[in-house]
Structure 1
Amino acid sequence: MAMAGRLRSTFSLFNRVSASESLSSVGSYRRASPLIPQLTSGFVSASGQQGGDVKVPVVMTGEAGKWATSLYLASVKSNVLDKVESELRSVVEATKSSPTFGQFTKDITVPKDTRVKAIFDICEKAKFSEITRNFLALLAESARLKNMEKIVGRFFELTEAHRGDVKVLVTTVMPLPPAEEKELKETLQEVIGQGKKVTIEQKIDPSIYGGLIVEYNQKVLDMSIKTRAMQMERLLREPVNFSDL
């Protein structure tokens, strides 16, 4: 059964777990999962730059960045980076396709024991790796499941950088025709350099009026009509120094 199918088959667990009045202690999960304390230590102490002989391709800041960095280091050291990435993509997709699961991850009123038990049950049913299971359990235990999508998003940035991928966000008024997208991708490939895989993600925003905005690697190239109009307006508002004429 595909991973997405295994995840779908576990959604009914939420109702049963939430309705249970006698849940197993979180401590029993800790004893069964020695990586939880190890990952906890890693998340707390991560510098965001390197871990032993493993270098992080992108320096992350903020809480989400530190969690993502620690998850990346643990995954690389255990040689399961691709597997963890695939599993977490399925989890994120599940939060969008299942209202029950999505609500569960965001509901901070769910008791800690319930959160952890549900996560362990789901991960066991989906046959997730130990790294993924313990990462999600840590989020559940520390009431950070609500931040999962943001943390995992930063983790995906690291996995893409690890592979040499460059995601480019292109904002336009309407979707680019295939021919124009292909031409833009080829141009960006020349700018970014060979050896990097360029992936274009399109964003539609009618408020820019026209043109496009290109964002990648924390760089922004704003060629929108809105921005050019604002720049022209500022120039027209500046007082003219007639002595220079």
Structure 2
Amino acid sequence: MATSSSFVAHIGARYAGALFDLCMERGVVDAVAADLDTIAALIAESADLAAFLKSPLHKRDEQGRAMQALMFRAGVGPFATNFVQLLARNGRLFALPAALSAFKDLLAKSRGEVTAKAVSAEPLSFEQSEQLKSELSRLVGKTVTIDAKVDQSLLGGLIVRVGSRQIDGSLKTKLDRLAVAMKGNA
């Protein structure tokens, strides 16, 4: 079982690249992308599913049957279902979240888009998300999509990463900097 996140990311990227190439060849990129978004939402909504993907306790055929049933119930199409089945058969289901992320990155790159990862203390409203997209698009000169996550430990504010640039406007970071500054003056 994989323990290194870079190892898992590498495996996910390889599988995602193969799927992306196949989808481009067959002209089904948008349909498969929508199905993969559905799968990502299922994983995000269920801690049990996320744990199941990582668990070495289940045999590959058990994982395959369970995921087949879940894909059917969620209305996921054949390309994405076969992709998940391939990961299960090869004992690589733990890399599914990384593969979903890598596919999304490949899709954005092919469209000339940049994905910004935004972490906030509370979920962003539609208006906040649109304003953030607009400002970031102006800054980077490309269409920006937002991959939003919530981390309540930030207390307030926002951390945004676009490529190698990071903007940290979180309250937690500001308080940490203030504490360091106050220790320096003591």
Q: Taking structure 2 as the reference length, what is the TM-score of the superposition?
A: 0.67
| Alpha-carbon displacement from aligned partner over 1:109-158 (angstroms, at most 9, x marks no partner) | 444345456667887896834x4354223211112223322321221222
Equivalent AA in structure 2 for residue 200 of structure 1: I
Name the CA distance, whole Å, in 2 between partners of 1:225 and 1:93: 28
For structure 2, the residue ranges without an aligned partner over 5 or more in a row are 1-8
Aligned to 1:213: 159
| Alpha-carbon displacement from aligned partner over 1:28-84 (angstroms, at most 9, x marks no partner) | xxxxxxxxxxxxxxxxxxxxxxxxxxxxxxxxx622222222222232233322222
Name the CA distance, whole Å, in 2 between partners of 1:230 and 1:96: 30
Q: 1:68 to 1:226 in 2, by over 3 A?
A: same
Equivalent AA in structure 1 for residue 154 of structure 2: I
2:77 pairs, out of 118, 128, 131, with 128
Aligned to 2:85: 137
The Cα shift of 1:222 comes to: 0.9
Q: 1:101 to 1:222 in 2, by over 3 A?
A: closer
Name the CA distance, whole Å, in 2 between partners of 1:188 and 1:211: 16
| Alpha-carbon displacement from aligned partner over 1:210-242 (angstroms, at most 9, x marks no partner) | 3322122242111223323333443444489xx
The Cα shift of 1:89 comes to: 2.7
2:97 pairs, out of 123, 136, 149, with 149
Q: Secondary structure at the match of 1:170?
A: strand
Q: 1:228 to 1:83 in 2, by over 3 A?
A: same
Q: Is the contact between residue 12 and residue 97 of structure 2 (CA under 8 Å) also seen in structure 1?
A: no
The Cα shift of 1:175 comes to: 4.7
Equivalent AA in structure 1 for residue 77 of structure 2: F
Q: Secondary structure at the match of 2:77?
A: coil
The yes-or-no answer on 1:168 pairing with 2:134 is: no
Aligned to 1:62: 10
Give the number of the structure whose alpha-carbon radius of gyration is greater. 1
The yes-or-no answer on 1:228 pairing with 2:174 is: yes
Name the CA distance, whole Å, in 2 between partners of 1:98 and 1:231: 35
Q: 1:184 to 1:102 in 2, by over 3 A?
A: closer
**What RMSD, in angstroms, separates the aligned Cα atoms of the two structures?**
3.9
Q: 1:70 to 1:236 in 2, by over 3 A?
A: same
1:79 pairs, out of 14, 23, 27, with 27
Q: Taking structure 1 as the reference length, what is the TM-score of the superposition?
A: 0.54
Name the CA distance, whole Å, in 1 between partners of 2:68 and 2:100: 18
Q: 1:219 to 1:142 in 2, by over 3 A?
A: same
Equivalent AA in structure 2 for residue 226 of structure 1: K
Name the CA distance, whole Å, in 2 between partners of 1:210 and 1:69: 37
Q: Secondary structure at the match of 1:140?
A: helix
Name the CA distance, whole Å, in 2 between partners of 1:232 and 1:97: 36
What is the aligned residue count? 178
Matches within 5 A, 1:1-245: 62-94=10-42, 105=53, 108-116=56-64, 128-129=77-78, 131-175=79-123, 180-193=128-141, 196-238=142-184
Q: 1:228 to 1:85 in 2, by over 3 A?
A: same
The Cα shift of 1:98 comes to: 8.2
Equivalent AA in structure 2 for residue 222 of structure 1: D
Q: Secondary structure at the match of 1:200?
A: strand
